Amino acid sequence: MKVLCQFGIIFGVFWVSQCIETVLPFPFPSSVIGLLLLLGLLMLRVIRVESIREAADFLLGNLTFCLIPVVTSSMNYVDIIRENALPFFAVCVVSTIVTYAAVVWAVHLTCRLMKKGGDEA
């Protein structure tokens, strides 16, 4: 029952993000809205990490199963991908570098905040 409540919280945040997306006057992905909303709720301590940990771990552990349909359906567009291989490759390289830099920055910031919090305790 506990895990069902955790999934309910996660999918509730997703549903609210879908509603927010429909009322926005500009296109913005509901998945990003949901992540920002969940981050805000966690930072404001409205939702505790413990109240969604098991469901989130399960979803992250099985994330590859969600990507299988996307990868297999991309095989229908091999000719388009082949025509645009160079720009496609450039976007992949640039986005990988930017993502890596963002993760490094986030880890450094987290370590600094944890060390600062440990010094105060």
pLDDT in tens, 95-111: 999 999 999 999 999 99
pLDDT for the residue numbered 69: 87
- pTM of structure: 0.62
What value does the mean pLDDT of the chain take? 91
How far is Cα 55 from Cα 3, in angstroms, rounded to an integer? 6
Q: Per-residue pLDDT for 31 more than 70?
A: yes
List, in order, residues 6 or more apart from 52 with CB less than 8 Å away. 6, 9, 10
Classify the phi-psi angles of 45: left when phi > 0, otherwise alpha if psi is within -120 to 50, otherwise beta.
Answer: left
Asked if residues 16 and 37 have their Cβ atoms less than 8 Å apart, the reply is yes
Mean pLDDT for the stretch of residues 36-57: 92
